[in-house]
Amino acid sequence: MGEYQMHSAVFRKHFALAFPLLAAILCFQTAAAQQHPEAVHHGFGDTAHWAEVFEAPQRAKWQKPDEVVRALDLKPGQTVVDIGAGTGYFTRRFARAVGPAGMAIGVDIEPGMVAYMKADAAKLKLANYQARLVRADDPELAPHSADVIFFCAVLHHIGDRVAYLRKLKPALKPGGRVVVVDFKQTSPKGPPPAMRISREEMVAQFRQAGFRLVAEHDFLPYEYFLEFVPAAPTG
């Protein structure tokens, strides 16, 4: 066997072994990207930068956080879980709305955000404002622990949303709600349009996960604001 033939035979053997592996990896990545294109997105590891964005004073003009909290008609003593809470922009407001007998829990996958919220709660002396680090695919909520589970500009970051939403149902107390605020397709603000989830798609995915739409608020200029409850009572 000449040198060229030998190299060629070795190459063929390695190619034969490597090709199926390479093809499998490429297929998996393409399928994952097609299924969850929004999963490919920036992180929120730079807390200082994102705190400037989330806490920018001009945000209140369009985010209307106090109106959002008022619209939820929270009662003293209730528990609100703010998933993907970031710097606690809404969490601290929930803590005030439910009073000292209630609880607002901000959860996030970024340790910097959780540290920011803990410092925020201490600075504001709000003992009913907690922060927890959670896994990206599971908010790790105790059964029957939440009256309201809230997401603002978060669900478009979550890959397998239907599977994720299904995990929320057992965490709701009887009468509990899941609330979503997220960017409209036409909004000049928000993530790149390809990453956004239309209101219709969001409602469809909640339905698929076993929820039904019970309320909708239309006072936010750039976002839809929806409330869901389990379609069938939780056990």
Retrieve residue 115's tokens.
Answer: 């540290």
Q: Does 182 bind ligand SAM (CB under 6 A)?
A: no
Q: Under the criterion CB under 6 A, does residue 226 sit at the interface with ligand SAM?
A: no
CB of 43 to ligand SAM, least distance (A): 7
Closer to ligand SAM by CB, 14 or 201: give it.
201
Residue placing its CB nearer to ligand SAM in the complex, 51 or 98: 51
Whole-Å CA distances, 44 to 155, 220, 229: 14, 24, 29
Q: Tell me which of 69, 85, 98, 131 binds ligand SAM, using CB under 6 A.
A: 85
Interface of this chain with ligand SAM, residues 3 to 22, rule: CB under 6 A: none
Between CA 93 and CA 220, with CA 110 as vertex, the angle to 5 degrees is 40
Contact status: 93 vs ligand SAM (CB under 6 A): no
Cα–Cα distance, 75 to 79 (Å, whole number): 9
Report helix, strand or coil for 220: coil
The 60-79 site mask, x for binding ligand SAM (CB under 6 A), equals: --------------------
Angle between helices 91-98 and 111-124 (to 10 degrees): 40
Taking the chain, what is the end-to-end CA distance rounded to the nearest angstrom?
72
Residues of this chain that bind ligand SAM (CB under 6 A): 44, 54, 83-86, 89-90, 107-110, 113, 134, 136, 152-154, 157-158
